Chain A
């Protein structure tokens, strides 16, 4: 049974700081990983995906993947109050689109 583990938080950071969100996964054979953002009362939306070891940058967001440690992270630079949301880590469950989600980490960015 594949599992994705996340600290539920809340993680509180001041505006302008770097927010670091972490996720571990159980299946060493997993290939693709995704970060979704979910605002309170809203539906999840994809913000980044990564499938190669190392870093992938997109604007203020950097996804990091370490397959040896089975560890995925998301860094948000220059955090803004509008980044306050729950961030869901997900892995490809083996069939395209059958994403396995973690419980999510609630991020709060304080002005």
Chain B
């Protein structure tokens, strides 16, 4: 079974440019998360989806970040415009209700460098 797929794996852009990350969760997983992980830090939740509904986006900087999950499957996270401080790894994760509590399956991440 395929895991959580993210693309691109690496992205280098100049500040003020837009960037988008894509995530395909594990088939059948109705919950999808976007986390941000800075170097030497733990992941921090940006947004959580239950099917196509964003149920927790309280930590998403809405002035420059946006996300969508069309048809409750794939998701896209966008940053426009990017700032130097946005350089980090953006992790997508998914889970399903019948799994172990707190068991999130993470993708390999998209590493963003803003110059």
Enumerate chain A interface residues (CB-CB to B < 8 A). 4, 8, 32, 34, 42-46, 49, 51, 88, 90, 92-93, 95-99, 101-104
Contact = CB atoms under 8 A, between A and B. Distances in A.
Given A97-B31, A97-B33, A98-B56, A46 B102 contact: yes
A55 B91 CA distance: 31
Given A46-B102, A101-B44, 14 more contacts: A43-B91, A43-B108, A49-B101, A49-B102, A88-B43, A95-B48, A95-B55, A95-B56, A97-B31, A97-B104, A98-B48, A99-B45, A101-B43, A104-B42
Contacts, number: 61
B40 interface: yes
A59 B114 CA distance: 43
Contacts of A97: 31, 33, 48, 95, 102, 104
B7 to A, nearest CB: 14
A109 B56 CA distance: 38
A71 B102 CA distance: 18
Contact of A92 (B41, B55, B102): B102
A88 B42 contact: yes
Taking residues whose C-beta sits less than 8 angstroms from the other chain, chain B's interface range is: 20 to 34
Interface in B1-49: 31, 33, 40-45, 48
